[in-house]
Structure 1
Amino acid sequence: MDEQRVRGGGPPRWWGQGPPWWNRGDGQGVPGTDRDVGSRWPWRSTVLLTVFVLAGSKYAAEQQVGEHADLDLFARVLLVVGSGLLLWRHRHPVLVAFGTATAAMVYLGAGYPYGPVFLTVALGCFSAVVAGHRKAAWAAVGMLWAGHVLIAHWLYRWLPPSGDEPAAWGQEIVVAAWVVAIVAVAELVRVRREQWDRERAERAQAARRRADEERLRIARELHDVLAHSISVINVQAGVGLALLDSDPEQARTALTTIKAASKEALGEVRQVLDTLRTPGDAPRAPAPGLDRLPELVEQAAGAGLTVEVRGEAPKLSPGADLAAFRIVQEALTNVVRHSGSRHARVRVDAADGVLRLRVDDDGPATGADAGGSGNGLAGMRERAAALGGTIEAGPRADGGFRVLAVLPLKVTTVKGDR
C-alpha cells in the first residue's frame, strides 16, 4: 500500500506518472527513477518466470501424455533459452521478441506439449511494443502464428511425434485471439506510457517556468530596491564630498541620509533573500505599498528631488500595491539619475475600475538614456503586464518625461503575485 494512502487518503504518489514498478529500460526517464531502473537487469522476474514456465510445462506434459512428445533435455533447454532471453528485454527488445518467438516455434515443431511457453513470447513482444518497436513485435507474433499454422496443418507429417494428426482449425482461432489480445494490451500500455511521459515533461516545463518567473520577480525586486537606494546614496555622497570642507553640517546631513537609505536598502534586500532561504514562509515584514509614498518622497528629497503627490490610493491587493509602489519608485529613481529637473509630480487617480499612476518631470535629460537605461522600464512593464495593466513611458511634447501606468483595480489572474 502506498505510504500516502496510509497517512490519510488521496491518490498514490505515482498517480498520473506511472506506477513505481514501471520498468522503462530506455534510459530516458526522470533521473533517479526510470533511468536507474532501466539500467538494471531484471534478474528476479526472469528467474521466477523461468521456474514457472518449467513447472507449468511439466504439468502440461503430464496432462497431455500420448498426445505430444515427452519433455526431454532439449525441451528444457528450449524453455530455459526462451525464458532467459527475457533478461535482455529492456536492452534489446526486438532481438528478444524474435528470439522468444523462434524458441517457441522450435519447441512446438519438435512436438512438445502446449503450455506456458507462449508466455515468454507474450512478454517479449509486449516489451517490444511498449519500447516503441511495434512493427517488430507484430512481425514476431505473426511469424509464430504462421509457423504454428504450418506445423499444425502441413509439416506435422515429417515432425515428431510420428503418427500425429493435424490440429483443428478452431484451435487457430484461439491462438489468433491470444495474439490479438497480447498486441492490444501492449498497445494500451504503450499509449499510457507515452501519456505519462508527456505529463512528466509538462510538469518539468511548468516547474522550469515557475522558477524562471520567480527569478525574474526577484531580479525586479532587487533592481528596484538597489537602483533607488544607490541613486540616493550616490547623490548624497557627491553632496557630502563637495561640502565636506565648506559646510560640515550639511555634509553630516548628507551622510545621515546615506546611512538611512543604505539601512532601508539592506532591510528590503534581506527580505527578498529570505524568500529564497525559506520558500513558502510568510515574509517577516509587510511588502511596501502606496501607503509608503511619503517615505518615498522623503528619500527623493534627500537626493535633492522635490516630489509633489496628488490623489489618494485606493485599497489594493498586496501584489498590486507592491507593483504600484515599485513603479513610482523606479520612475522617481529615473528622474534622479537621468533628468536635469529637480522637481517631479506624482498623480494617483482611481476611477472606472483602474488605477492610473502618472509621474512627470520637466527635464531636460542629462544623457542619451533619458527616462532610464532600459532595465527599469522593462521591469515596470513586466510588473504592469503581470496584473493585466500597461505602462507608457516617453518624452512629453512640452519637454520633460512622463511615465503613465494603468493597473486594473480588480485582478482576476495575477502572475507572480506573492
Structure 2
Amino acid sequence: MLPLLAGMAQIWGTMAAQRGQVHPGDPLTRVPLDPLGFLLLSLGPLALSARRAHPVLTLWSIVALTAFYVYRGYSYGPVFLSPIIAIFNAVQLGHRRAAYLAGGAVWLFFVAYTTWLLPHREGWFHHASVGAIILVVLTVAEVVRARRDQRAERERVSEEESRRQASEERLSMAQELHDVLGHSISLIHVQASTALHLIDDHPEQARTALATIKQASKDVLTEMRSLLGVLRDDAPRAPTADLSQLDELIERSGPDVTKRVTGTPRPLPPGVERAAYRIVQESLTNVTKHAPGAPATVTLAYGHDRLTVLVEDGGATAPGALAGEGGGNGIPGMRERATALGGTLTAGPHGQGFRVEAVLPIPPAAETDPSEDTE
C-alpha cells in the first residue's frame, strides 16, 4: 500500500501546493502540472514497489525522477516524499553508502539548480537548509535502524539464553535419571543375586531380598514418573528430591547403613538439598556395587555457613556383584554437583573402606548452632 499512498499524497498535495506557486506573468512562477508532470509524480511512487528487491536501483531512479521534475519547473511540495522514503529504506536495508551518496547528490543538484538555473539566485542559507533536511532524514533512518538492530540483538540474546537454560535443564534431567536409575538398578541387581544364591538353602532370606526388589522397583518407577513429569508444561521445572527423603533412601539401602546428624538441621535452598540427597544416593550406590554388606555411615554436619555430607563404609565383606562394570560417572557427577554450588567434593580410600566428603555452602544460620548428634 505504500506506493499507492505515496502516489496519492504526491499528486493531490502538489495540486494543492501549486495554487500558491503558479502565478502567470510572474518571472518567478512555477510551471503548472501537465501530463508529463503528473507522470513524473506517479513514476516515483511506482518505483517504490521495487524498494525491497532493488533498494539501490530504486533510490537512484527516484532521485533522478525527482531532479528532472524540479528541473522542469513544476511546483515544490510532496514530490520529495518518494526520495525521503527511498533514502530511509536504503539505510534500513544496510545500503548506507548509497543512501549517503544519494543524499549528497540531491544537495549538490539543489545547489546547482538554485544557483545557476533559476532567475533568482538562492544564497547559502537556502543551501544549508536543504542540507539540514537531508541530514535529518539520514539521522532518523540511522536511529531507527540502530534501535531495530538493538531489539534484534536483545531477542537473539534472549533466544540464546532460553536455549542455554533448556540445555542445562536437559543436563539436569539426565543427571537426575542417572542417579535414580543407577541407585535403584544396582540395588535390584545385588538383591537379585542374593536371592538366587539363597533361594535353595535359605528361602526366607531370599524372600526378604525379593521383597526389597519389589519395593525398590516401585520406588524407582515413582521417582521416574516424578522426574519425567517436569517435562509437562504445567509441571514444576525442578526435580523434587530433598533431604526429607533421606531416611527412606537409607532404609532401602539396608540395615547396615546408619545416619548421623550434627548441628541443628534447618531448611536449606532446594538446590543444596537436592545435591546433598543425590550425593548420598550415589555414594550408597557405590557401596552397593563395590562393597555389598559393608557397614556404612551417612553424616550430615550443619555448620554456620556450610553443610558437610560424609559417607563412609567399612570395606567390602564379599566381592561386589557389579564390581566388574567399571567406575562409571558417579564420582565425577557428584563432584560436578558440588562444584556447581561453589562447594567441593573429595572421594577416596579411607582405612579398609571408602569415603566421600562434600562441603556445600549454605546461607549463614541466624545464630550459632548448638552441637548435637542424632543417630
* Same topology, TM > 0.5: yes
Distance across 2 between alignment mates of 1:395 and 1:133? 68
- Aligned counterpart in structure 2 of residue 287 of structure 1, from 237, 240, 260: 240
Q: Give TM-score scaled by structure 2 length.
A: 0.86
Q: CA deviation at 1:175?
A: 1.0
2:205 is matched with 250
1:403 is matched with 356
Distance change in 2, residues 1:76/1:60 (3 Å): same
- In the TM superposition, 1:121-140 aligns within 5 A as 121-140=83-102
2:368 is matched with none
- Aligned counterpart in structure 2 of residue 269 of structure 1, from 224, 228, 235: 224
Q: CA deviation at 1:111?
A: 1.7
1:61 is matched with 18
Kept in 1: contact 2:256–2:293 (CA 8 A) = no
Distance across 2 between alignment mates of 1:117 and 1:272? 67
* Residue 308 (1) aligns with residue 262 (2): no
2:69 is matched with 107
Q: CA deviation at 1:240?
A: 2.1
Secondary structure at the aligned position of 1:173 is classed as helix
1:322 is matched with 274
Count of aligned residue pairs for this structure pair:
353
- In the TM superposition, 1:11-410 aligns within 5 A as 44-66=1-23, 67-154=29-116, 156=117, 164-281=119-236, 287-301=240-254, 306-312=256-262, 314-317=265-268, 318-339=270-291, 342-363=294-315, 372-374=327-329, 376-396=330-350, 398=351, 400-410=353-363
Superposed CA offset, 1:379-400 (max 9, x none): 323332333322222334x454
Distance across 2 between alignment mates of 1:79 and 1:104? 8
Distance change in 2, residues 1:290/1:168 (3 Å): closer
Sequence identity of aligned pairs in percent? 42
What is the CA RMSD across the aligned residues, in angstroms? 2.5
- Runs of at least 5 residues in structure 1 that lack an aligned partner in the other structure: 1-43, 158-163, 412-418
- Relative contact order (C-alpha < 8 Å, sep 6+): which is higher? 2
Distance across 2 between alignment mates of 1:399 and 1:78? 98
Amino acid of the structure 1 residue aligned with 2:178: H
Distance across 1 between alignment mates of 2:104 and 2:237? 64
Q: Give TM-score scaled by structure 1 length.
A: 0.77
Q: CA deviation at 1:281?
A: 4.7
- Rg (Cα) greater in structure: 2
Distance across 2 between alignment mates of 1:120 and 1:83? 6
- Superposition misfits of 4+ residues, deviation over 4 angstroms: 280-283, 362-370
Q: CA deviation at 1:362?
A: 4.3
Q: CA deviation at 1:182?
A: 0.5
Kept in 2: contact 1:316–1:409 (CA 8 A) = no
Secondary structure at the aligned position of 1:336 is classed as helix
Secondary structure at the aligned position of 2:356 is classed as strand
Kept in 2: contact 1:297–1:306 (CA 8 A) = no
